[in-house]
Structure 1
């Protein structure tokens, strides 16, 4: 294995972030305005018992880090040498402010940041994979992995073979809120990607004791603003109704798409529950 330190990896990630050509609002005529701020980086062990729990909680279809790594490298793999790199990209304050002013449909800025996330991650992930390959470090980018997809879960309805949010939790970057979004030190209005690399990096400490510790509602019942922000009441004290949420997103896409904004192959995300809330910008 090629030696690389946590500092080295963070420096590489930041340099790639600075070089991104797609991290802007050119679609809205603002090429000098960025979509996402500099990311947070956390590291989890490839043999973390939490990934065993995820198989039990989400389903056997959810990959362990070792299983995902073997999809690209089917030979000998020692899971003890694997590290899961979680990278959290916060939305800008301007995007969050535009979203917080909306009550029925997501703002144009929010629609663009969601719709152009996949092309942005293709650029970011491609550059990071290329750099790690140059260093001789075996790696897997989930956003570039052909087998990465969503599936139907008997327990959870819509689920994925790999959860970026749960990996960020495992990597010490945040805990879950009532809407199932991840509350990080930079707030809940974030998007996440994951990598696995073969390198003995230092694991990020999880400073929390429970998976909902940073949510005020779960902590002492003092919040619940995200419930009020949802236009179809898909968030309640029982959690997040994914079916109702997805149905509303489909309805919005058909009936309320903003005039003058080309839908193209955008994936829509409502996200009203991630702005105009106490955990919008930081851990409350």
Structure 2
């Protein structure tokens, strides 16, 4: 099976290609240097010539705060880029996996969001990702829309690496404690995505590691596992203002995964432990 993966230079795309190679699939990981997804002709030519059976679209403009001011570029990448790839997929009859986000939801309440809940993005980044979802649904039939949250992987920057870096110079940190969600380990997620493309159980899915936590609790567990003597003060969102509004409730229900025969991702604490072991192996 020939699989095209966009966003290969990012955390998820990197692990998807690595896992696919391990499984013996023909993986083609691309970055912005290989293909400009905002150029319709470029996308059409590349995809038509490669003729993959599956396109896994991980590439995105993900600078949430910057997106509020850099709207044109964010829209170009997340909306136009997605449209051009979807049109190319339709032309060759390829399956399509669109990586979406908890930011398409409004973050209200405290119950886990289901796939059937109506999206209502509260920031520009989330708006563009939801526009991408609508494009996929309008153009394609053989698609998976997979919403994820709080991503971490070995290839690139993330919350865990930031916390560990800060722990080198500080023994007290203030971390937001009233935003809740599920961390998502790209290694675990990549295995699920490659299981998905072997099936025709299409639709919208939520996929993150099991269990929920706040950012503050996430930080506390990071320091506990790594034996860092850092005190974490839990603060309110209002005490840490950002350019873009963050959803306070990013809890995602993953019930549809198991209902459709897919294996749920392991608990986030288990994923975090394995991830830190992997980081330590790379250092040593």
TM-score over 0.5 (shorter chain) = no
Structure richer in helix, relative to its length: 2
